[in-house]
Amino acid sequence: MSGTLTRITLARRPAGAPVPEDFKLVSEPLPIPDTGDVLLEVTHLSLDPYMRGRMDDVKSYAPSVDIGGTMTGQGVGRVLESKTDGFNPGDMVTGMTGWASHACLPGSELRKLDPTLPPTTALGVLGMPGLTGWVGLHRFGKPKAGETLVVGAATGPVGSMVGQIAKGMGLRTIAIAGGPEKCRLATDTFGFDAAIDHRAHDTAKSLRTAIAEAAPDGVDIYWENVGGKPLEAVMPLMNVHGRIPVCGMIAWYGGANIAEDNQLPAMWRSILVKRLRVSGFIIFDHWDEYPAFLSDMGPKVAKGDIAYLEDVADGLEAAPAAFIAMLNGGNTGKQIVKL
Amino acid sequence: MSGTLTRITLARRPAGAPVPEDFKLVSEPLPIPDTGDVLLEVTHLSLDPYMRGRMDDVKSYAPSVDIGGTMTGQGVGRVLESKTDGFNPGDMVTGMTGWASHACLPGSELRKLDPTLPPTTALGVLGMPGLTGWVGLHRFGKPKAGETLVVGAATGPVGSMVGQIAKGMGLRTIAIAGGPEKCRLATDTFGFDAAIDHRAHDTAKSLRTAIAEAAPDGVDIYWENVGGKPLEAVMPLMNVHGRIPVCGMIAWYGGANIAEDNQLPAMWRSILVKRLRVSGFIIFDHWDEYPAFLSDMGPKVAKGDIAYLEDVADGLEAAPAAFIAMLNGGNTGKQIVKL
C-alpha cells in the first residue's frame, strides 16, 4: 500500500513548559508491514499528561522519547492491511501508535475494539485514564462508604472516573477544578457533592479554607494527580489513616513554580516514578500485636539472639538532661533512667 | 503508706530544642491507692523521642502534656501496695508511670513482667521500641530476602531491632549512625552489613554517595525515623516499588534546621502524625487488571451510568498546541486528537 505517513517528532527537549517549537511535523512513505504486523490508519490519538515526562531526558518509569523520535501515545484506528491472524481490513483497533497518521505494529500489541462502544472511549473513560482511576481508587484509595474524597483535576478523565466510582460507593466527593465552568461540570455532569475553583484562590491557605468548608468531616482520601497548591492545601485536612494515591503531579512537571529550597516536589516525584509506598504509623495503634511480638522476640532476647544496648542515666533528676542529649543523638542504645 | 513522690513536670513549652529550664522537679505526698489501684515505686523510666512531640501544644496523635503536668512516659517498678486482684507487693510491673518516683495506676493499665528477663527489657528491646521495629518492618516494610534495607538511627532501640530482624530474613542491612563508635556498634553488635557515619558527611549528596556504595543494588526499604539529611540522601537511591515506613522524624522535631520554603517537613509530619499511606503508582504496572476493569465499567459506560467528556482537537498538526493547552488545564475532559 502506498501513501504518506505523517508524524510529530520531538524536535528538542523543553525547558520548562513545552512550546510549539519543541515539536516537528515530518512526512515519509508508508511503512510496509512484515509478517505478524498490522498497518493501520489512526483515526484518534490520545493526549495525556504523562507524555510531558517522556520529553525529558531523565530516568523515569519509561524511556524518554529521543530527539527526532515520534511522540509516544495511544491511538485508535482502522486496519488497512494485516499480515497476522485475527485482524482484517476495516477492524477498529487500539495500540501505541504514537503521534502519527498511520502505524505499523505487531498484532500482539493491538486490541480490537468493542463495536458497540464509540471508539474514542478506548482512549479515555475505558482506556488508560479510566483504568488509572479504577485501579488506583480501589487498590490504593481503599474507599469506604461515608468517607470523604477530594479529587484534583476532577473533570479530567481520571478524576471524573474516580469521583463517579466513589460517589457510587457512598463517599462524599469534592472536586478541585480550574474555573467556574469546570466546577459546574464537576457537580452537574460528574455528580460531585461540591466543587472548588482553585483559580479563585491565590494561596494554598485560602484554597484550604474552601476545601475545609466542603469537607466538614475532614478528608479520608486525597486523589493526587496535581501536586503544588492543592496538595499543600489538602494535606493538613487529612484524617488519621488517610490514603493518598499519587498518580501524577502535573503542577510540577517541567520544574516550574518550585521554590529553590523546597524538597517536596523532588520527593513527590520519587514517590510517583518509583511507585513508593510511604506509610506513616504510630505504634500506639498496634498494641494489639504485642502478644504476638512477645512470643516471637521474647525467647530470642532471652537466648541472646537479639542484641540490645541500654544507656542508663542515674536518678530522676537526671532525666531532663538525658532526654535533651538523646534528642541530639548523645545516647548509645535505649535511653533509660534508673531511679 | 506515707512518703514522698517526686516527679518532673513540663515547666513551659520548648522553643525548638528543649533546654533544662523547660522541666521542673516537684515533690508531694505519696498518693493513696483507691479500689482497683496499684501503688508502685518506679525503678526504671524510659526516655523516647516521641516525648518531644508531647511537649508542644499542637494537634498530634496523643494529647500534649499540660504546663505543670507530669512528663509522660513508660516505667517499670515494684508494687508497694495493691488494691486489686492479681498484683502483690514486690511484683515487678510496667505501665505509663510518667517521669516520677512513684505511680498510682489502675491494675488494668499495668502488666506484670516476666521474671526471667531483666526488667528494663520491657522498656526497650521487648517494649515499645522493639514492638515499633517489629510491627513496622513486617507490616509496612514487607521485607523480602535479597533486598536492601537502610536504617536511620540504627543503633537506637528501634533501628537495631529492625536491622537484626531484616538481617535474619536475608536482607542486606545498612546502618546510618552518628560517629565511628556507633558505626562500630552497628556492624559488630547489631550485625549490619555496612554502617555509614552521617557526621562524616556535611551534605546530603556526600551521604548519598556513601550509601550508594554500600547499596550497589539500590534501596528497597528505607526505615525512616530521622527525616532531614538522611531522607534527602536516600530518596534518590530507592528502587522501584520501595517501601518507606515512617515512624519518626527526629531531625525535624522542634522545627529546627528547616529552610523556610521547604514544605517537606510539614508534609512528612502529616504523614507520620496522621498515619497516612502515600502510594505512588503507575498504571503501566496494572494492565493485567484491564479485563476486570472493562467487565466492571464497560457496561456502565454503555448504559450511560458513567459520564465522560471528550475535548477533540482537529488534525494531527493540532496535537502540539492541544497538548500544551492541556498541560495548562485548557481542555475540558479527555483530550483527543481526531485525525
Task: Quote the pLDDT of residue B260.
Answer: 67
What is the tens place of the pLDDT at every residue in B23-49? 999 999 999 999 999 999 999 999 988
Distance from CA of B286 to the nearest CA of A (A): 8
Residue A314: pLDDT over 80: yes
CA distance A38 to chain B (A): 19
- Is the alpha carbon torsion for A309, A314, A319, A322 positive or negative? negative
Cβ count near A19 (within 10 Å): 12
pLDDT band at A256 (very low <50, low <70, confident <90, very high): low
Q: Tens digit of pLDDT for each residue in B115-128?
A: 999 999 999 999 98
A258 has pLDDT over 70: no
Return the biggest CA–CA distance within chain A.
92
A63-76, pLDDT tens digit by residue?
899 999 999 999 99
* Residue B28 CB contacts under 8 Å (≥ 6 apart), including other chains: B4, B5, B7
Pairing state of beta strands A111-112 and A92-95? antiparallel
Backbone angles phi, psi at A97, to 5 degrees: -80, -25
Report residue A290's pLDDT band, with 50, 70 and 90 as the boundaries: confident
pLDDT for res A28: 96
B interface test, pick of A52, A281, A314, A326 with most B CB neighbours within 10 Å: A281
B chain contacts of residue A99, beta-carbon cutoff 8 Å: 316, 319, 337
Does the CB of B26 have a partner CB in chain A at under 8 Å?
A: no
In our burial notation (b when 16+ CB lie closer than 10 A, e otherwise), range A68-85 reads eebbbbbbbbebbbbbee
Quick one: pLDDT at residue B222? 95
Residues of chain B with CATH 3.40.50.720: 128-273
Instruction: Please state, in angstroms and as integers, the Cα–Cα distance from residue A66 to each residue in A48, A61, A120, following that order.
Output: 18, 15, 28
Q: pLDDT, tens digit, for every residue of B260-282?
A: 677 788 888 888 888 889 888 88
CA gap B152, B178 in Å, rounded: 10
Q: Answer whether B129's CB lies under 8 Å from B155's CB.
A: no
- A256 part of contact set with chain B, CB < 8 Å: no
pTM of the model: 0.86
pLDDT tens for residues A36-68?
999 999 999 999 888 988 999 876 667 899 999
Average confidence score pLDDT of chain B: 91
- Residue B136's pLDDT is 93
Chain B 174-193, CB below 8 Å of chain A: which residues?
Answer: 178, 181-182, 185, 189-191
List, in sequence order, every residue forming a beta bridge with A102; answer none if it has no partner.
Answer: A41
Distance of alpha carbon B315 from alpha carbon A85, whole angstroms: 31
**Lowest mean pLDDT, pick from A16-20, A260-264, B207-211:** A260-264
How many C-beta neighbours within 10 Å does residue B36 have? 13
Count of CB atoms within 10 A of residue A302's CB?
A: 15
Whether B329 has a pLDDT exceeding 70, the answer reads yes
C-alpha cell read off for B172: 542486606
| Residues belonging to chain B | 339
The pLDDT of residue A287 = 84
Chain region(s) in chain B for CATH 3.90.180.10: 4-120
Cross-strand pairs, A335: A311
Looking at residue A137, what DSSP letter applies? Answer: I
| Residues 206-235 (B) with a CB less than 8 A from some CB of A | 231-232, 235
Interface pTM, i.e. ipTM: 0.83
Amino acid found at B112: K
**Looking at the predicted structure, is the pLDDT value of residue A157 above 70?**
yes
Count A/B contacts: CB-CB distance under 8 Å.
Answer: 435
Fold of A129-273: Rossmann fold (3.40.50)
Contact B275 A298 (CB under 8 A): no
Q: Is the pLDDT of residue B248 over 80?
A: no
Q: What is the mean pLDDT of residues B145-153?
A: 96
Least confident among A268-277, B146-155, B212-221: A268-277
Interface-testing mutation among A240, A283, A290, A295, with chain B (most B C-beta atoms within 10 A): A283
Q: How far apart are CA B217 and CA A189, in angstroms?
A: 49
**What is the dotted CATH code of the domain comprising B128-273?**
3.40.50.720
pLDDT over threshold 70, residue A323: yes
What does the pLDDT look like over A85-97, one tens digit per residue?
Answer: 999 999 999 999 9
CB of B308 less than 8 A from some CB of A:
yes
Q: How many angstroms separate the Cα of A209 from the Cα of each of A216, A232, A234?
A: 11, 12, 9
Share of chain B above pLDDT 70, in %: 96
Is residue A253 pLDDT above 70, yes or no? no
Q: To 5 degrees, how large is the angle CA B128–CA B130–CA B135?
A: 90
Tell me the C-alpha to C-alpha distance, in Å, between residue B173 and each of A252, A304, B139, B148, B177.
Answer: 34, 20, 18, 6, 13
B332 in contact with A, Cβ within 8 Å:
yes
At residue B126, the pLDDT reads: 92
A15 close contact with B: CB closer than 8 A: no
Mean pLDDT within A311-326 = 92
**Residue B211 · residue B234 · CB < 8 Å:** yes
Choose the mutation target among B276, B300, B301 for the interface with A, i.e. most A CBs under 10 Å.
B276
Angle at A72 between CA A69 and CA A75, to 5 degrees: 130
Instruction: Quickly state the pLDDT bin for A280 (edges 50, 70, 90).
Output: confident
Distances (CA, A) of B45 to A242, A308, A330, B23, B123: 34, 17, 18, 16, 8
Query: How many whole angstroms separate alpha carbon A90 and alpha carbon A74?
Result: 19
Q: What is the pLDDT of residue A284?
A: 80
Q: What is the mean pLDDT of chain A?
A: 91
Listed in order, strand segments (DSSP E) in chain A are: 4-10, 23-29, 37-46, 75-82, 92-95, 102-106, 111-112, 148-151, 172-177, 194-197, 219-223, 238-246, 277-280, 310-314, 334-338
The CATH code for residues A4-122 is: 3.90.180.10
Cβ pair A175, A192 in contact under 8 A:
yes
**Are residues B307 and A189, on separate chains, in Cβ contact within 8 Å?**
yes
What is the second-level CATH architecture of the domain B4-120? Answer: Alpha-Beta Complex (3.90)
Q: A153 contacts in B (CB within 8 Å)?
A: 329
Alpha-carbon span A216 to B186, nearest angstrom? 48
Taking residues B137-142, report their average pLDDT: 94
Is B47's Cβ below 8 Å from some Cβ in A? Answer: yes
**What is the torsion angle, in degrees rounded to the nearest 10, for the CA atoms of residue B293, residue B294, residue B296 and residue B299?**
160
DSSP state of A52: H
pLDDT of residue A59: 64
pLDDT at B62 over 80: no
Q: Is A188 within 8 Å of A117 (Cβ atoms)?
A: no
Residue A232 has pLDDT above 90, yes or no: no
Binned at pLDDT 50, 70 and 90, residue A255 comes out as low
Q: Tell me how far CA of residue A305 lies from CA of A209, A285, B134, B173, B181, in angstroms.
A: 53, 27, 15, 17, 22
**Any chain A CB within 8 A of the CB of B19?**
yes
